[in-house]
Amino acid sequence: DMHFPRLNNFSFWTLPWAMDLAVVSLFTESGSGTGWTLYPPLSTYLYMGKSVDLTVFSLHLAGVGSIFGSINFIVTVRGMKLVDMHQLSMFPISMFVTGHLLVVALPVLAGGLTMLITDRHFNTSFFY
């Protein structure tokens, strides 16, 4: 059982919504055309369709769900009634470390995606 069950439920149900948006972005207009890495320069006029915007928004939504799930795992492992971390098995320790890595890395990804959206719609010049 998790420490915050409603937060766990929220983080679980954001993933199907994010996947639905990613699938919808494949069939919007002619698809995003960016490949599975989203590598091309997405701030140029060649990729100005709604499909790339839906893909970016689905990544934002999946990131939010992952951050909340990671926070829930961190709080759950820290809330266990143990003297120290040496009494835990390897799985809770790995989830604890992975949770910390996701909490650190996903806001950076979200910042980059937000800069991409502002380049595409508000004429900023982060990626030119």
Q: What is the pLDDT of residues 12-44, one digit of tens each?
A: 999 999 999 999 988 888 777 777 777 777 777
For residue 65, CA distances in Å to 47, 58, 59 come to 27, 11, 10
- pTM exceeds cut of 0.95: no
User: Both tokens of residue 1?
Assistant: 């059982």
Whether the CB-CB separation of 52 and 67 falls below 8 Å is answered with no
Give the burial class of 6: count Cβ atoms within 10 A of its Cβ; 0-12 exposed, 13-18 middle, 19 or more buried. Answer: exposed
User: How far apart are alpha carbons 35 and 93 in whole angstroms?
Assistant: 34
| Residue range 61-112, pLDDT digits in tens | 999 999 999 999 999 998 887 767 788 889 999 999 999 999 999 999 999 9
